[in-house]
Homo-oligomer: A and B are copies of this chain.
Amino acid sequence: MLSDPLARELYNEFTRIAIIDVHTHLDPHHPTARSLDDLLSYYHYPELALSTGMDRSMLAPGVDPGDRVRALFYHLLDFFPNTAPLQWLLEIAHAFLDFGGERLSFADCTQLADIADRLMTKRDWEQRVLHTCNIEKAFLNNDFDDPLEGIDAARYVPCLRADDLVFHFAEDQVRQRLARVGGGEVGDGPGLHRALAALFEHFARHQARAVNLVVPPDFAPEPVAGPDLSRALAALAVPQRQHAADGADAARLAAHGIFHAVVHHCQAFQLPLQLMIGVSHRAQHEGRFPSPAAAGGAAPMDRYAELFRSFPGATFCVSVISSGPAEELVNFSRIFANVVTNGFGGSTNSVPAALQKAVRCRLQAVPQTKQLGYYSAADKLEFILPQLNMYRRVLADALALDFVRPRIYTVWQAVQLGRLLLRDNARRIFDV
């Protein structure tokens, strides 16, 4: 698909590099899709189909999978064929589903579903996908109370997802889940630290290599004094709260205090924190917006600077999901030794023209050793192929245009730079 022969040459080199995908939503017990219906459950497809008028009832569990596939296919081809998800599906069909046509049509739907049913249930399917994608490792996003049993951690690297702990600690069931795995109820600061220590030990024992956290764009981390944190945690532990305002204040203090406690343990356990700043598309889609209680002032830049300075031994892999002031955070990787840039979030992750612009700027702005090139955020292994290929094309094009053609780099140097972004930086930063 690349018209520049130099970019094609670079792209071909990049397909030979075994990649490490540092952020996915894969199920390590069954990372691949089981059917075409399962494949099309990747949130882009229902999101775009709903946004173009598909009835939400099509997503209910009782619906016949064949009917749902036809509905999604219909919306995909008629309403959003111009978006990357159609290209991704076409590339998957070519690579994995014996599809030979140049374009998908509604008539291909049934046949693709049948072939998917036949092939995806084969024993070697996962191996075939891994081999074709040329993936060495994919990082997971595990709930904090995940038992982490039976995971092939050499391939699927556990990561502690801290969102519930930090931003939903006011919910009873979150505190109960923590009580179960953290050795009892948390009613004050020391109790919180003990529980987190237990969690982190559990994750470290199971070869976890990172902690993941999505924070709202207007979150401005504030240190919380020990007694204040204890008071807030105690208030949340009391079953009936008298005043909603007090509860909101306690939730806010708890969010900030737990955030800092999590970062403290990241540093202590040498687990990089994958900090994703913005409103996640998944969350928006589900109508879950960040709690206003957690939101602070309008200029969080200096607060993050304080945070980065306070934890010099922690590593922060920063990714920006939504645009706005948070974009500036990426610049902090030029200022703080413990801050690295981490792929691209939001629509930049899936819109080639936006990705191209972001990749070109970052290639020239951030030290080569401080960039994690791209993560997929995929929940089925199959999508890593087209998403990574999209990134490889954009990367090859950018390197050809801005580095090799102006004689700043040789082709060999450009390939080495690509290798850092696709694989070697992840190996070093996450020690895998």
Residues of A within 8 A of B (CB): 1-3, 47-48, 50-53, 78-84, 87, 102, 216-218, 279, 281, 284-285, 287, 289-290, 292, 295, 298-299, 301-302, 305, 309, 322-325, 327-328, 331, 333-337, 339, 346-347, 350-354, 357, 360-361, 363-370, 402-403, 405-408, 417
Contacts and interface: CB of A to CB of B under 8 A. Distances in A.
A342 to B, nearest CB: 15
A317 to B, nearest CB: 14
7 contacts: A2-B406, A3-B405, A79-B370, A83-B367, A279-B328, A284-B335, A352-B364
A299 B295 contact: yes
Q: Which residue, of A2, A51, A287, A298, has the highest number of chain B Cβ atoms within 10 A?
A: A51
A82 B205 CA distance: 38
- Shortest beta-carbon contacts, A-B, top 3: A80-B367, A353-B360, A289-B302
Contacts of A369: 52, 78-80
B327 A323 contact: yes
A218 B297 CA distance: 11
Contacts of A102: 407
Nearest to A334: B51
Given A51-B333, A51-B334, A218-B299, A87 B365 contact: no
Contacts of A325: 217, 323-324
Nearest to A56: B337
B347 A365 contact: yes
Given A334-B48, A336-B51, A305 B323 contact: no
Nearest to A326: B324
A81 B51 CA distance: 43
A369 B367 CA distance: 37
Contact of A370 (B51, B305, B360): B51
Contacts of A331: 281, 322, 346-347
B417 A82 contact: yes
Nearest to A333: B51
A105 to B, nearest CB: 12
Nearest to A405: B3
A84 B350 CA distance: 28
Contacts of A370: 51-52, 79
Q: Which residue, of A217, A284, A336, has the highest number of chain B Cβ atoms within 10 A?
A: A284
B365 A351 contact: yes
Contacts of A368: 79-82
A411 B345 CA distance: 32
Contacts of A364: 82-84, 351-354
A148 to B, nearest CB: 32
A37 to B, nearest CB: 21
A223 to B, nearest CB: 15
Given A82-B363, A368-B81, A51 B402 contact: no
